């Protein structure tokens, strides 16, 4: 644990999800492979859809509709629909099928592995502090077994921009009814989590499990953690 500012007690904690409470890379890769295989096997319109074609379609979609960058769920659902339409499916049917495929994708994407130690830590923290989620992702917390720990979940989309934009930090602060410097945000990402928290007055705990150099940061956190378990020493 490395301190960059004089530590003061906090009254609430916000958490990033992906790559903070669990390893997200494997889950996303597995879910995306499932999606592409499902589209190829179940729909003639997407029988030739492979990863390079999907990435090109997604890139073109975001260039045409940059507002989708702030909503990963809507962007993916639009991408699935566009793939089906480009393959010859009628738009109305493609919209219906895209909803079904996305719902199944989200279920696959939410099959993440949270360690017993992390569950135990969250349970202990939740007894003492209100816990909230601030995430750019779209994990189904109930399916992942994480929903019981949190009093509020703020997700990008539906008008809320992704971190480091202020939208979700302001949502969380309003719900908690606390000054921002009484809220500690915990996350792994130098920009979306550390910079986002610091820009909006939150305290910041940088989870740096891979020993990235502090010079990669645009602003220093209040504290750097080498492992999530150090939160117990800091807060309990």
Do 141 and 220 share a domain, yes or no? Answer: yes
What tokens appear for 207 in the block?
């989870």
pLDDT for position 159: 86
Domain final residue, candidates 109, 131, 166: 109
Residue of 16, 188, 193, 222 marked catalytic: 16
Do 72 and 153 share a domain, yes or no? Answer: no
The DSSP bridge pattern shows strands 203-207 and 183-187 to be: parallel
Do 94 and 170 share a domain, yes or no? Answer: no
Q: Domain range spanning residue 76?
A: 26-109
The torsion angle over the Cα atoms of residues 145, 148, 152 and 153, rounded to 10 degrees, is: 0
Do 134 and 205 share a domain, yes or no? Answer: yes
Nearest to 102 by CA among 72, 62, 144, 136: 72
Do 10 and 35 share a domain, yes or no? Answer: no
Do 125 and 230 share a domain, yes or no? Answer: yes
**Per-residue pLDDT of the chain in tens (236 residues, 90 and over written 9):** 999 999 999 999 999 999 999 999 999 999 999 999 999 999 999 999 999 999 999 999 999 999 899 999 999 999 999 999 999 999 999 999 999 999 999 999 999 999 999 999 999 999 999 999 999 999 999 999 999 999 999 999 988 999 999 999 999 999 999 999 999 999 999 999 999 999 999 999 999 999 988 888 899 999 999 999 999 999 99
The torsion angle over the Cα atoms of residues 172, 227, 119 and 182, rounded to 10 degrees, is: -30
Domain final residue, candidates 109, 141, 162: 109
Query: Residue 23 catalytic?
Result: no
Do 224 and 118 share a domain, yes or no? Answer: yes
Asked whether 146 and 123 are in contact (CB, 8 A), the reply is no
pLDDT for position 199: 95
DSSP string computed for 111-156: -----HHHHHHHHHHHHHS-EEEEESS---HHHHT-GGG-SEEEES
Do 83 and 191 share a domain, yes or no? Answer: no
The tally of domains found in the chain comes to: 2
Kindly report the CATH number assigned to the domain that includes residue 45: 1.20.120.1600
Q: Is 210 exposed, middle or buried (0-12, 13-18, 19+ CB in 10 A)?
A: exposed
Kindly report the CATH number assigned to the domain that includes residue 189: 3.40.50.1000
Do 141 and 99 share a domain, yes or no? Answer: no
Do 40 and 156 share a domain, yes or no? Answer: no
Do 132 and 224 share a domain, yes or no? Answer: yes
Asked whether 34 and 51 are in contact (CB, 8 A), the reply is no
Domain final residue, candidates 109, 124, 140: 109
The DSSP bridge pattern shows strands 223-225 and 203-207 to be: parallel
């Amino acid at each position: 644990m490395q301190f960059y500012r004089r530590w003061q007690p906090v009254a609430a904690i916000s958490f990033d999800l992906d790559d903070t409470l669990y390893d997200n890379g494997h889950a996303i890769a597995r879910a995306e492979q499932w999606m592409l295989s499902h589209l190829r096997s179940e729909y003639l319109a997407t029988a030739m859809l492979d990863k390079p074609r999907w990435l090109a379609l997604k890139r073109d979609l975001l260039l045409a509709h940059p507002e989708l960058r702030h909503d990963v769920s809507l962007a993916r659902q639009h991408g699935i629909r566009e793939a089906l339409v480009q393959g010859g499916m009628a738009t109305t049917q493609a919209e219906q099928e895209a909803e079904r495929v996305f719902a199944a994708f989200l279920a696959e994407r939410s099959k993440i592995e949270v360690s017993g130690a992390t569950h135990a830590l969250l349970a202990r923290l939740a007894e003492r502090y209100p816990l909230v989620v601030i995430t750019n992702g779209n994990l189904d917390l109930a399916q992942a077994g994480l929903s019981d720990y949190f009093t509020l979940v703020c997700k990008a989309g539906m008008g809320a921009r992704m971190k480091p934009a202020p939208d979700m930090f302001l949502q969380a602060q309003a719900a908690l009814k606390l000054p921002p410097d009484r809220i500690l945000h915990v996350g792994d990402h130098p920009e979306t989590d550390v910079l986002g928290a610091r820009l909006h007055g939150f305290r910041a705990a940088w989870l740096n499990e891979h020993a990235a150099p502090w010079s990669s940061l645009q602003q220093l956190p209040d504290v750097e953690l080498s492992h999530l378990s150090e939160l117990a020493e800091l807060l309990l």
